[in-house]
């Protein structure tokens, strides 16, 4: 089978592409897969490199190569045709463009739009709510198949070490706090220094508490070193620091905070995780990990929002205040930002939001860690228990749908 997948950012690759492609290769080692990483504001720029390391048997085109391919150029490693073009992230127009170039059938996961309802032969849905959403976009019911949330399999795969051959460092975070500061460039730029200052305060409040950082594989050591040297935007009240032998060290401090790269392997060992909203919250919930969700709005104009409004801050003079108003307006519409809280209808993951100071976040975290939150963690795990096996169900559906062409 010749398969082309369009994707974009770290959440889509780690949560959707990674578990599905792993399952597809397990079922069909001879699969001819091409990953097309499309330009996107949510991307880190490292997705293609990480994909090549995890799936060396796949053809991988980064955003620049993809653009040349989409414009009709001959690109080394690009396929000439495909049995199936599968949308797994990014703008749907890229899946449409890839399908136009490669032919075959087209399918999507989770999303469609009215203008694309005739394009996709199949749309794989997350749940019944997603089915209703697809119906409003005009997708015929016979073209929809419910498979579940792929990110759940991605979380369990990583937790079980499926994407690494090295054993975890059992001393890094056992019984302590794992901090996951985000993967996008502005998140890394400002939230790593912010959370490093939080970690310093945590160590002052609770000297024996293990604290580690779950840094994404999409962030290189060189990028991390440069970010720590700058210390982030001063409005976040972070601290400068260094990366020394696999640990973060704050300026003027001797405290070391280990860095781990596969956060979901370590999260179940922690008493709590401190993170930002995103796919990782769903993954942590599925693993039954007590979690605090922190949304610093110290510089709201830096936040990426869906659609063209995300570029408002680039307009001279009026852009920044306008972007701040947009972010505040959008935020006021959502009393909860973490998807597990939204799905549960209650705050199972405590949320902090607004212009936040590191000392306050540290105090709230220390108080939370001191309590027993096993009941909430168990309820979080039950929210997504039915989604396990989504990758296997979707892979089986793809292979049984007659997408493969003639040999």
132-188: pLDDT as tens digits: 999 999 999 999 999 999 999 999 999 999 998 777 777 789 999 999 999 988 899
**How many of the other CB atoms lie within 10 Å of CB of 51?**
23
Residue 14 is classified by DSSP as I
Phi-psi region of 137 (alpha: psi -120 to 50; beta: other; left: phi over 0): alpha
92-116: pLDDT as tens digits: 999 999 999 999 999 999 998 888 9
C-alpha R_g of the chain: 21
The answer, yes or no, to whether residue 309 has pLDDT greater than 80, is no
Degrees (nearest 5) of the Cα angle 281, 284, 289? 125
Domains located in the chain, CATH noted: 2-148+389-400 (3.40.50.2000), 177-386 (3.40.50.2000)
More confident residue, 168 or 45: 45
Q: Distance between CA 315 and CA 282 in Å, rounded?
A: 35
Q: Can you list the positions of beta strands (E) in 147-233?
A: 177-180, 211-214
- For residue 216, the model assigns a pLDDT of 93
**CA 180 to chain CA mean position, Å:** 11
Which tokens go with 195? 């959370």
Q: Distance between CA 198 and CA 277 in Å, rounded?
A: 17
pTM: 0.91
The secondary structure of 327-341 as a DSSP string is: HHHHHHT-S--SHHH
Task: Sort strands 144-146 and 122-125 into parallel, antiparallel or unpaired.
Answer: parallel
């Amino acid at each position: 089978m010749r398969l082309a997948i369009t994707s974009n950012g770290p959440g889509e690759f780690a949560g959707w592409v990674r578990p599905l492609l792993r399952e597809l290769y397990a079922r069909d080692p001879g699969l001819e897969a091409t990953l097309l990483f499309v330009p996107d504001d949510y991307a880190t720029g490292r997705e293609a490199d990480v994909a090549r390391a995890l799936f060396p048997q796949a053809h991988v085109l980064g955003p620049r190569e993809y653009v040349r391919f989409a414009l009709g150029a001959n690109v080394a490693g690009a396929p000439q045709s495909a049995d199936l073009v599968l949308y797994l992230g990014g703008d749907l127009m890229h899946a449409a463009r890839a399908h136009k170039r490669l032919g075959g059938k087209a399918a999507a996961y989770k999303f469609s739009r009215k203008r694309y309802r005739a394009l996709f032969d199949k749309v794989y849905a997350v749940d019944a709510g997603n089915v209703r959403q697809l119906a409003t976009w005009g997708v015929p019911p016979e073209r929809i198949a419910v498979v579940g949330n792929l990110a759940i399999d991605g979380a369990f795969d990583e937790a079980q070490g499926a994407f690494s051959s090295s054993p975890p460092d059992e001393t890094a975070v056992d019984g302590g706090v794992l901090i996951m500061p985000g993967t996008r460039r502005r998140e890394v730029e400002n939230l790593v220094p912010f959370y490093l200052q939080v970690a310093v305060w945590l160590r002052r409040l609770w000297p024996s508490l293990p604290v580690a950082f779950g840094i994404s594989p999409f962030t290189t050591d060189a990028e991390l070193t440069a970010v720590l040297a700058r210390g982030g935007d001063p409005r976040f009240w972070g601290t400068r620091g260094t990366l020394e032998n696999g640990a973060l060290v704050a300026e003027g401090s001797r405290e070391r905070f280990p860095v781990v790269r596969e956060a979901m392997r370590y999260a179940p060992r922690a008493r709590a995780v401190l993170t930002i909203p995103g796919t990782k919250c769903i993954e942590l919930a599925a693993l039954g990990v007590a979690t605090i969700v922190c949304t610093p709005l110290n510089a709201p104009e830096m936040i990426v929002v869906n659609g063209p409004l995300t570029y408002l801050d680039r307009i001279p003079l009026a852009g920044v205040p306008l972007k701040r108003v947009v972010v505040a307006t959008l935020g006021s519409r959502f009393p909860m930002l973490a998807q597990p809280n939204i799905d549960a209808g209650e705050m199972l993951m405590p949320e902090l939001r607004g212009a936040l100071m590191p000392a306050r976040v540290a105090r709230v975290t220390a108080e939370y860690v001191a309590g027993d939150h096993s009941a909430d963690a168990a309820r979080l795990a039950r929210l997504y228990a039915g989604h396990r096996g989504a990758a296997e169900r979707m892979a089986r559906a793809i292979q049984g749908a007659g997408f493969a062409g003639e040999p």
